[in-house]
Chains A and B, each alone.
Chain A
Amino acid sequence: MTYEQILLSAIFVPITGAFLVPLAGRVSRFLRNGLSLVLILFSFSCSLVLLPHVFSGQPVFFSYVLPLGLDFVFVADKLAVFMSLVSTLISSVIIFYSFGYISHYENQNEYYCMVVLFLGAMVGLVFSANLIFLYLFWEITAVTSWRLIGFFRERKQVLKADKAFLVTVFGALLMLLGFVQIYQQTGTFVLTHAALPNVAVVLILCGILSKSATLPFHTWLPDAGVAPSPVTALLHAAILVKIGVYVYARLFISSYSIDVFWQTAVPVIAAASALVSAGAALVETDLKRLIAYSTVSQIGFIFFGLAIGNEMALVGGLLYILMHGLAKAGLFLCAGIVEQNAKTKNITELGGLMTTMPKTAISFLLCAFSVMGIPPFGGFFSKYMVFSGAIEAGQVWISLVFLIGAFMTILYLFRVFNMVFLGESKGHEAKEQDSSMVFSVVLLAILSLVGGILIAFPSMLAHDTAVQMLAKVIP
Chain B
Amino acid sequence: MYSWLVLLPFLGVIFLNLPSKTVRYKLAFWLSLFIVVVQLFFVIVPMSVAWSRILDSLGTFLKMNFSVDSLSQVLLFCIGLVALVTLFVQREMAQDEKQMFNFANVLLLVLAGMNGIVLVRDIFSLYVFLEITAIGSFILISLDESFSAFEGAFKYIILSIVATVLMLLAIGLFVLVAGSTSFEAIGRAFADYPNVFLIRLAMGLFLSGCFIKAGLMPFHGWLPDAYASAPASVSILLAGIVTKVVGVYTLMRVVVSIFGFDPTLRTILFLVGIVSIVFGALAALGQGDFKRMLAYSSISQVGYIILGLGSFTLLGLAGAVFHLFNHAIFKSLLFVNSAAVESRTGTRHMDSLSGLSQRMPVTGVTSILASLSAAGVPPLAGFWSKLLIIMALWFSGFIWVAVIAVLASVLTLAYFLKFQRKVFFGTIAADFNNIKEAGFGLMVSSVILAAIIIGVGVLFPFIFSNFIVFISPLIGGTVGT
Contact = CB atoms under 8 A, between A and B. Distances in A.
Nearest to A184: B395
Contact of A180 (B390, B426, B464, B468): B390
A185 to B, nearest CB: 11
Given A153-B427, A177-B390, A181-B394, A162 B421 contact: yes
Interface in B367-403: 372, 375, 377-379, 383, 387, 390-391, 394-395, 402-403
Interface stretch (A54-62, A164-172, A313-321, A464-472): A164-172
Interface string B463-481: 0110010000000000000
A234 to B, nearest CB: 20
A232 to B, nearest CB: 19
Interface stretch (A64-72, A76-84, A261-269): A64-72
A447 B216 CA distance: 60
Interface stretch (A132-140, A346-354, A406-414): A132-140
A169 B413 contact: yes
Nearest to B409: A173
A158 interface: yes
B379 A136 contact: yes
B158 interface: no
B235 to A, nearest CB: 26
A139 B410 CA distance: 13
B61 interface: no
A177 B421 contact: no
Given A66-B462, A66-B464, A158-B425, A153 B355 contact: yes
Contacts of A177: 390, 394, 402-403, 406
Contacts of A176: 387, 390, 406
B417 interface: yes
A166 B395 contact: no
B401 to A, nearest CB: 12
B407 interface: yes
B36 to A, nearest CB: 31
B194 interface: no
Contact of B461 (A72, A139, A140, A142): A72
Contact of A139 (B378, B406, B468): B378
B426 A153 contact: yes
A173 B404 CA distance: 11
Nearest to A183: B391
Contacts of B426: 153-155, 158
B414 interface: yes
Contact of A143 (B372, B390, B395, B407): B372
B395 A170 contact: no
B459 to A, nearest CB: 11
Interface in A380-437: none
Interface in B414-434: 414, 417-418, 421, 425-427
A207 to B, nearest CB: 12
Interface string A109-149: 00000000000000000000000100110011011001000
A195 to B, nearest CB: 19
A48 interface: no
Nearest to B460: A70
B403 A143 contact: no
B410 A170 contact: yes
A276 interface: no
Contacts of B406: 173-174, 176-177
B377 A143 contact: yes
A140 B379 contact: yes
A168 to B, nearest CB: 11
Interface string A346-380: 00000000000000000000000000000000000
Contacts of B390: 176-177, 180
A155 B427 CA distance: 8
A13 interface: no
Contacts of B465: 66-67
Given A173-B406, A177-B406, A165 B413 contact: yes
A120 to B, nearest CB: 12
Contact of A153 (B379, B403, B425): B425
B409 A154 contact: no
Interface string B48-87: 0000000000000000000000000000000000000000
B377 A135 contact: no
A135 B426 CA distance: 28
A173 B413 CA distance: 12
A102 interface: no
A183 B402 CA distance: 15
Interface string A17-42: 00000000000000000000000000
Interface string B277-312: 000000000000000000000000000000000000
A166 B410 contact: yes
A52 B465 CA distance: 38
Nearest to A146: B417
A159 interface: yes
Given A155-B426, A159-B421, A180 B391 contact: yes
A166 B421 CA distance: 13
B418 to A, nearest CB: 8
A142 B427 CA distance: 22
Interface in B101-141: none
A240 B383 CA distance: 22
Contacts of B377: 139, 142-143, 169
B372 A70 contact: no
Interface in B302-325: none
Nearest to A152: B427
B417 A67 contact: no
Nearest to B410: A170
Nearest to B457: A136
A67 B315 CA distance: 12
5 contacts: A66-B465, A143-B372, A159-B421, A169-B375, A181-B394
Given A154-B426, A161-B425, A176-B390, 18 more contacts: A68-B468, A70-B461, A107-B358, A132-B387, A140-B379, A142-B377, A155-B421, A158-B425, A159-B421, A162-B417, A166-B414, A169-B377, A173-B407, A173-B410, A177-B402, A180-B390, A180-B394, A184-B394
Interface of A: 66-68, 70, 72, 106-107, 132, 135-136, 139-140, 142-143, 146, 150, 153-155, 158-159, 161-162, 165-166, 169-170, 173-174, 176-177, 180-181, 183-184
Q: Which 7 A-B pairs have the closest CB atoms?
A: A136-B378, A162-B417, A66-B461, A67-B465, A70-B461, A158-B421, A173-B406
Interface of B: 355, 358, 372, 375, 377-379, 383, 387, 390-391, 394-395, 402-403, 406-407, 409-410, 413-414, 417-418, 421, 425-427, 461-462, 464-465, 468
